[in-house]
Structure 1
Amino acid sequence: MKPKKNPKKDLNKKSSLFFVFGLLLVLGLAFIALEWKSYEPKSIYEVSMNVAPSEIEEEPIEKFKVEQPKIKQVLPPEIKVEDNDVEIEETEILSTEADTETEILEVDDIEVDEPEEEVHVNWITIEEVPIFPGCENAKDKRACFNEMMQKHIQKNFRYPELAQEMGIQGRVSTQFEIKSDGSIGTIQKRGPHKVLEEEAIRILSKLPKMTPGQQRGTPVKVSFSIPINFVLQ
């Protein structure tokens, strides 16, 4: 039996070449499809405004007239010339330099005024204690002074709200001066917290003016110490 295929014709001999050509063709078409660009036709009107340029009405431009500011003319003050007929007394300046006619003073003739230093006496050693208003006729003025001080503290005492919220309590040691004119001088304080110290200063600053204490018949400055207790109930 004679075979149908020609053994000299090999169909698979150029199949790889055809495969490469087909692959290149497919890749070229894919590249052209990806890189293909299309453009919209140019419009003669603005799309965002949705009107043609011919339909846009131009608004008239208003012109404003700018007026120049009026400058107020300020005239110089009128200078009045008066006749100078007033006689001026000239002050004679004496020379401080010494000359042959200068009088020489002796050392004994020169008096030097020394400023008097204010005497500061303690409350315990003072001869006559300061008198608190209302204690003028009291027999024991020291006891009356202490009693009036306690009444003054109770009357003006006010527990600070911040100290109450924070639970701060304790004793504030204070010392103040009663000056030689009866007014309250420097107030010193020491306590557990600044809030309590400020309240103690406020109480003592409300003290009235007193009759000053005396030492050997002369008004002197007297220091007085008193503690102020802050206790939460």
Structure 2
Amino acid sequence: MEPKKNPTKDLNNKSGLYFVIGLCLVMLLTYVALEWKTYNNMHGYDISLNVADELTEEVPITVQIKTPPPPPPIPTPVIIDVVEDDTEVEETIIESTETDQEEAIEVLDVVVEEDEELLEVSFLVIEDVPVFPGCEKEKNKGQEAMRACFQEMMNKHISKNFRYPEMAQEMGIQGRVSVMFDIQKDGSIGNIRMRGPDKSLETEAGRIIGKLPQMTPGKQRGIPVRVPFSMPINFKLQ
């Protein structure tokens, strides 16, 4: 029995070759498609913004020209009056301020202001210390005796008028209060200042000093002056 097909016309003999060729063509087309690139001629910027290239007109530069100041005014010529010899000119007589040696010179009284340093003198250097009442008999013994008497009378005054604050006793407060005051020009006590560990102790110390009697003021060069004085007052619980 003869075959129905012509062996030379059978396409199955070269099917493998055709398959390889087709596969190569498909891969080639795929590679070309993937590697295909397009380029933009705009170069990535908008040429409408480049206005500088279109400005061809030159802009003139403004130059400020300083005008010179006006010339100074011409001074008015001085008019000189010419006086004829026949015209009498009044002469100004200048009186002499020098005094004649024979004339008496009147000297007015000169008022000497009080020296500022004499307004306040320390108790330790003052010439005449303030006199505490009861120390008048010590004047004949000198200023050192007067100072010692003053200190003794101060201690007696503090001991006589001393009173421990009840609140400070209950709270167990004790300490030293420094008291400063001035013996004024009239002998009175003023400008009392206290500094201590507690307000109640300071108040009591101020009360004691405030009860000091009127004194004879201290004097420097015979002039009454203000004399500052300071001393401690001890508050101690028994």
**TM-score, scaled to structure 1:** 0.50
Which residue, out of 180, 184, 187, partners 1:182?
187
Which residue, out of 158, 170, 192, partners 2:175?
170
CA offsets 1:174-229 (integer angstroms, 9 cap, x no match): 11100010000101111000000000000000000000001011110001111000
Percent identity reads: 65
Q: Does 1:199 align with 2:204?
A: yes
Equivalent residue letter for 2:137: N
Root-mean-square deviation (Å): 2.2
How is 1:80-91 mapped onto 2 (pairs within 5 angstroms)? none
Equivalent residue letter for 2:128: E
Q: Does 1:136 align with 2:141?
A: no
Cα deviation for residue 113 of structure 1 reads 9.2
Equivalent residue letter for 2:174: Q
Q: Work out the CA distance in 1 between the residues paired with 2:176 and 2:234.
A: 4
Q: Does 1:159 align with 2:164?
A: yes
Equivalent in the alignment of 2:125: 125
Q: Does 1:214 align with 2:191?
A: no
Q: Quick one: structure 1 residues 147 and 169, their matched pair in 2 at CA, closer, same or farther if it must change by over 3 Å?
A: same
Q: Work out the CA distance in 2 between the residues paired with 1:113 and 1:222.
A: 23
Q: Work out the CA distance in 2 between the residues paired with 1:112 and 1:216.
A: 18
Q: Quick one: structure 1 residues 114 and 121, their matched pair in 2 at CA, closer, same or farther if it must change by over 3 Å?
A: closer
Q: How many residues align?
A: 126
Equivalent in the alignment of 2:229: 224
Equivalent residue letter for 1:131: V
Cα deviation for residue 116 of structure 1 reads 7.2
Equivalent residue letter for 1:134: G
**TM-score, scaled to structure 2:** 0.49
SS at match of 2:136: coil
Q: Work out the CA distance in 1 between the residues paired with 2:208 and 2:111.
A: 44
Which residue, out of 131, 148, 154, partners 1:149?
154
Equivalent residue letter for 1:136: E
SS at match of 1:144: helix
Equivalent in the alignment of 2:39: none
CA offsets 1:5-51 (integer angstroms, 9 cap, x no match): xxxxxxxxxxxxxxxxxxxxxxxxxxxxxxxxxxxxxxxxxxxxxxx
Q: Work out the CA distance in 2 between the residues paired with 1:187 and 1:129.
A: 19
Q: Work out the CA distance in 2 between the residues paired with 1:148 and 1:178.
A: 15
Q: Work out the CA distance in 2 between the residues paired with 1:128 and 1:112.
A: 25
SS at match of 2:121: strand
Cα deviation for residue 155 of structure 1 reads 0.2
Q: Work out the CA distance in 1 between the residues paired with 2:121 and 2:193.
A: 16
Equivalent residue letter for 1:186: N
| Structure showing the higher helix proportion among its residues | 2
Q: Which ranges in structure 2 are unaligned for 5 or more consecutive residues?
A: 1-106
Larger radius of gyration, structure 1 or 2?
2
Q: Work out the CA distance in 2 between the residues paired with 1:125 and 1:189.
A: 23
Q: Work out the CA distance in 1 between the residues paired with 2:156 and 2:131.
A: 15
Q: Work out the CA distance in 2 between the residues paired with 1:200 and 1:124.
A: 23
CA offsets 1:121-167 (integer angstroms, 9 cap, x no match): 11111111100000001131110000000000000000000000010
